[in-house]
Structure formats: C-alpha cells, structure tokens
Structure 1
C-alpha cells in the first residue's frame, strides 16, 4: 500500500497531487499512533515532495489536519511553519511538535501574521513572549496579554503594564492575569477607578489566601478524614489517558468514581487535569468547606449532575447528612466558569511559586 503511494506521488497533474496529498494525510491521521519509524519517514518523504507542488489552499488544509498530531514528522511541521501565514497558522498555534527553540527562531525571523499565530499557543515560555512583545505590533502584544498560557518575564510584564496606560484592551487583559509581580499589579491598579481597584485587591487577597491555605495543608490530612487508596492507580491513569484523548467524558467519569466513593483516584484525575499536585486535591476532597472544590470543578467544566454525585459521595465519606450536598450544589450553580478559571490560574501559579521557595 505504501509503495503504491510512492508511485502516485510521481503524478504531475495538480488536481491529482492535491487529491493524493489529502489521501496520504488521511492515512497518516488515522494511524499516526501506530506507524513504525520507517513508515513515518516514508510519510515524511511523500508529503515533503507533495507540499511544494500543491497550491496554498491545499497546503493550508494539510496544516489544519496535521497540527494537533504529536507524531507528525518534524520536517513537515517546520516546513509548514515557515510557509505563508495562512498555511503556517494552524501548526504555529497548535502543533506539539514545535519546541520552544523552534518557536523562538520563528518569532525572531517571521512576520506579524506568524507572530500573531504563535502568540495564541496554549503554552509559551517567557523567552518566546519577550521576542513577541519586542517585535510584535499591537495585535500581537494584545494577544500575548490576553493569553493566560503565555508566561511573562519581569521585562515583559513591565512593558505590558506600560502599554496598558494607553491601550484599554491590554489593560483589561492584565487585570485577570495571575503572574504580575506586586509592583506591576499595583501600577496597573493605579490606572483604574478606585472602586475597581478595591474589587481587584479583594479578589487578589482571596485567591492568595486560598493558595496559602492549600499549600499549608498539603503535608497533612484533615483529622479523621484521610482518603483511602482503594485500588491500583493504573486504572486511574488509563482513565486519564482516555479523558485526554476525548474517548471518555469527564462528567461520566466523575459520576462513576463518585458512585463507588473512590475519591482517592478521583482526586488524582482532577489534579492531573487541573495541572496541580494530587495532594492539594486530596485535601480539598475531605474539607467540609466546598469552596475550593467548587472552583476546581467549575474551572474544569464539570456539569451540575456530576458535581451533585461528587457532593453526595463526599457526604458519605465525611459522614455528614446528605442534605449538606444541596448547599454545596447551590454554591456550584452560582460560581461563574470564567471566575473559577481565573482563580485556578492564579492558584496554580502561586502554588508553583510556593513550592519552588519551600
């Protein structure tokens, strides 16, 4: 089958080349996690030869299909990333194949459209955002400011705060970031009306208190409420893989673990999805106060039915009346998703800082 693809690659008709590339891309996408290194190298060879002979719409379609796949040959990704902006954008924004060094080189050499696509990636190192902020025009700088996954250096933070003096979009984006230093945060607040300053300070203090409390409790369990490890974590790791691959829904997984009152493995799953140490979530699980759990679950997008099942499981574990679950559920219904996500970003960053300083 692969030999026949090599033969088809010799076709000279542009339409057939586009069709062939689409066919090869389909074969690759469907078996990307199963091919041997030799087969991946062959796909790389065929696609590399086809890319130069296919028009921009065809290359753009290929970029869209290959962007999210981790096993896409590196040569193909780099070739697409250096192509025209409409071709490069999908891989620049989404491809996990591109390293920080790759992104740094592209940010230093490409134009504004490429920089804008890079600025939208889910995660960016501070050294990359520094180059984006230095070379980027206003749309790129606004995009960096609005991207919670774009890490900022102290220089980058100070530059954005300075730009915020005359750019309302950047100013508003910075008010919900979690990684400004105290000095930069205060400078940003000085640009806002007094009532807004007071509200943001209150939010900051509440989030800081939550992070500090979780950190202090990390080494201990609430007395008499320690979670038991009921089974091997292998099943939880398999479940996590399925969740990340989109083969299972978070809600049905939470309900399944809640019905068996397996809060230990559930804490592991939620922690991995939230990007924090499981010990924090284990302690959240056994606290009578549900505020932290409400924030965590709402930030992860858990539905109300699944949170209700989790609340009832917590009641049984804590040996409190099931009616208490209704109070926790009411709290969950009133928690806005955007607010929960902002709080989790702040808490995640602060916990990392506290751990590094411990």
Structure 2
C-alpha cells in the first residue's frame, strides 16, 4: 500500500494524463484512475477528493465504452461516490443499466427521479433490482408500462404496497400476461384474486380457490364485473381485440357463458360481443355467426339454441333481442316468434346437433338453411 510521496506522485501523473483529451488519452486515463481508485490506497480525504474529481472528469468527457467500463466497476462498489453513481445512472441506458441493476449507493429518491425522467428501459432496470422498496415500486406502477409491471411482479425482492397491488390487478384485467405473475405475489388478497378469477385458466382458478375460500356470490359478482368490462370495452367497436377474445375464451373454459350472460349482452346492445360469446360455445366461426344472425327466418338461430339445449324461455329472449339488434329491425312480428317457438318444440336437441356440427365443419358456407330445411326442418 503506497503512502506519502508515492501516492502524490501517482496523483500528479494522473493529473498530467488528464490534459490529454483525445479518445485514446481518455481511455488510458480511465484505466489508470480506475485501477488507482479500486486498488485500496490509503488516501486522505483531500487525496480521495482529487481522485474522484478525475473520475468525474473522465465520466463527463470519455467515450461510451470507457464510461461503460467505469460504470460496471463502480456499480458493485458500495463506497462509490454518490454523485458519480447518480451521474452514471442518468447516462445512456447501456451505461446506466449496470448501475441501476446493482448499485447500493442509489437512494429511493434517486431511483424515483430516474423513473420519472427516463424511458421504459431505465424503469425495467430499476424493477429488476435485488430489492425494490414500496415507494419505488409505487412510482414504477404509476408509469403504466406493461413490461415494467410484468418485471416488477416477477421480482420477489420487490415490496408491493396495497395501492400498487390494486393498480396491478386493474391492469391485469386488461392485460393477460400480468395475470399469472400477479397470482404468484404474496401480497395478493382474496378480493384482488376474485377480480381476475374469471380471466385466468382453469388451473389458476383452481389454485385461487385452494388459496382463498371465496364465496360463490362473490364469484358471481366478479363474473358480472368481467362481463361489464367486456361490454364497456367493445362499445362502439365492430370487432373484439385479442385480449377481449382471450377473455371470451376464459369465460368459455369456466362454463361461464350462460344464457343469462348472452341475454345481458344483447340487452346492452352489444351484438358483436354476443356473436363472439355465442360463437364460442356453439363452436362457430365468426363468418358463420354473421350468417346465423343475418338469416331472415330465424331458423338457424333456433336450431343452434336447440342443439345447445338452451331453455325455451331463454331462447325466446335471445331470439327477440337478437332480431331487434339487426339493422332496421326494432319490432319483431309476433307471428315470427310463434313460428320459431313451434320449430323449437318440434326439433329435439339430438336432431339439431348434427346440423350445428355441419355448420362447424363448413364455416365458408354462403347460407345456413337450404330452402327445403327452411320450409320443414328435420325432426
């Protein structure tokens, strides 16, 4: 360990090297001052301040690869000067990332400031830190990035406040990739788990019920909320998003697409959502569902409902509401209702099922009901 004159001679040499502002000179200076700083010399406060001043100058002036090398070395040094670490943490992401990931010198206030000032890549790096405090996690969640939220949920070293968990649950209702990591969090409560119950796979629903004894009425209320979200999200749209179609799929897996749910969507005027829900349980392609609703006589819808064993009272409501939702049709002729109810009574589910199956196998058909079948469906 050098002391006295040897140390001062080294410092004098470093200051002389600092006059060379060429890229090669900056790189050589960075190597030498870095080696000197990390070598553990017994420096006085004044001497250490001089070394840090040189480091600060190098960080401001050197090319990116030089700054990156210093950032990687300083990131794991617990005694690194705070202002240098903050300077590096606000540099280009390639340089900032090792510091954001590993430096214990950064304080919560530093991290929150970086989260607010910088782009998503910086936020992801902060979310990956071995320990993320609740205030820092709150700031990350507020930014609204799906990738940041997914990273944070997967980090068991992150502390998530009740407020953060509530916001992440709301986000998970819209964003499928957040659901499974959310369910793995120790901070998850029964109420929050209920909010996404109908949006996850059968396996995850089982896991929720094993972890929480959720009353049936609470699950029913959550189902209504999920359907309402679908209705609100599809209002004014002519097609469903991928996320909405995934929700439809999850509801179907759970056996939650019931006649009352179908009727609810029709009462709210959501004919496209009805097509998606009905099409899923009937196994019909979107183009086939379009034909089924557009078909003038209503026989196709009648046969589909009969094949699915939908109760007659529910069928009547579905028929009336779906006909009223068609363009230009506000009132259904009572004779039309009488005719399809008679057809419903005449055709058994067993007779209707092969017809439905034929529609499943021929989604490109231009019509569902041949003229002879429209006149007298098979029984």
Class of the TM-score when normalised by the shorter of the 2 chains: 0.5 to 0.7
Q: Which residue of 2 aligns with 1:50?
A: 58
Question: Deviation at 1:91?
Answer: 0.8
Question: Deviation at 1:63?
Answer: 0.9
**Contact between 1:40 and 1:73, CA under 8 Å: does it hold in 2?**
no
Q: How does 1:136-175 map to 2 (within 5 A)?
A: 136-175=144-183
Q: Does 1:184 align with 2:192?
A: yes
> CA RMSD, aligned part only?
2.3
Q: Which residue of 2 aligns with 1:73?
A: 81
**Contact between 1:142 and 1:170, CA under 8 Å: does it hold in 2?**
yes
Q: Which residue of 1 aligns with 2:123?
A: 115
| Distance in 1 of aligned mates of 2:132 and 2:146 | 18
TM-score normalised per structure 2: 0.50
Matched residue SS, 2:199: coil
Matched residue SS, 1:31: coil
**Contact between 2:67 and 2:95, CA under 8 Å: does it hold in 1?**
yes
Q: Which has the higher contact order (CA 8 A, sep 6+)?
A: 1
Structure 2 unaligned blocks of 5 or more: 1-9, 214-379
Q: How does 1:224-263 map to 2 (within 5 A)?
A: none
Matched residue SS, 2:185: coil
**Contact between 1:44 and 1:75, CA under 8 Å: does it hold in 2?**
no
Q: How does 1:5-84 map to 2 (within 5 A)?
A: 5-31=14-40, 36-84=44-92
Matched residue SS, 2:104: coil
Question: Deviation at 1:97?
Answer: 0.3
Q: What is the CA deviation profile of residues 216-242 of structure 1, one whole-angstrom value per residue up to 9, with x for unaligned ones?
A: xxxxxxxxxxxxxxxxxxxxxxxxxxx
Structure 1 unaligned blocks of 5 or more: 206-358
Q: How many residue pairs align between the two structures? A: 204
Moved more, 155-164 or 186-195: 186-195
Question: Deviation at 1:77?
Answer: 0.4
| Distance in 2 of aligned mates of 1:204 and 1:41 | 57
Question: Deviation at 1:201?
Answer: 4.7
Correspondence for 2:136 among 124, 128, 135: 128
| Distance in 1 of aligned mates of 2:208 and 2:175 | 19
TM-score normalised per structure 1: 0.52
| Distance in 2 of aligned mates of 1:178 and 1:187 | 16
**Contact between 1:104 and 1:128, CA under 8 Å: does it hold in 2?**
yes
